């Protein structure tokens, strides 16, 4: 396995782990969480959360080694509007 392939595989596994931890934390807080089966090609939404006060919220989990990318926030906002969510949770890990 090439170094490039290993790095990509490790990156995908790390992203899936970050997303899983974030979704589990939301479940532990007592929220109903529906997870996407795949965290790649998900249209910017890794899962959805039911908040009884607000309604359905989209969840996006990103792992950054530096600053948050403004474009990712804008894309997530577009996904929230396009899919008619009541709001969203943008979770940054890293």
Where do the structural domains in the chain lie, given as residue ranges? Answer: 3-93
Q: Which CATH architecture has domain 3-93?
A: 3-Layer(aba) Sandwich (3.40)
Asked if pLDDT for residue 16 goes beyond 60, the answer is: yes
Which ranges constitute the DSSP H helices of the chain? 3-28, 70-82
pLDDT digits (tens, 9 = 90+) for 66-79: 888 899 899 999 99
Which pLDDT score, from 0 to 100, does residue 21 have? 87
Q: Which residue has tokens 């949770």? A: 89
DSSP state of 69: P
Closest CA to 45 of 81, 1, 9: 81
Q: pTM (2 decimals)? A: 0.76
């Amino acid at each position: 396995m090439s170094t490039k392939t290993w790095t990509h595989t490790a990156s995908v596994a790390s992203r899936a782990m970050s997303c899983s931890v974030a979704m589990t934390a939301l479940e532990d807080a007592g929220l109903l969480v529906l997870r996407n089966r795949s965290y790649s090609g998900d249209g910017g939404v890794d899962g959805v959360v039911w908040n009884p006060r607000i309604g359905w919220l989209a969840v996006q989990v990103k792992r950054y080694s530096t600053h948050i990318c403004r474009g990712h926030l804008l894309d997530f906002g577009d996904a929230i509007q396009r899919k008619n969510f009541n709001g969203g949770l943008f979770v940054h890990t890293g």
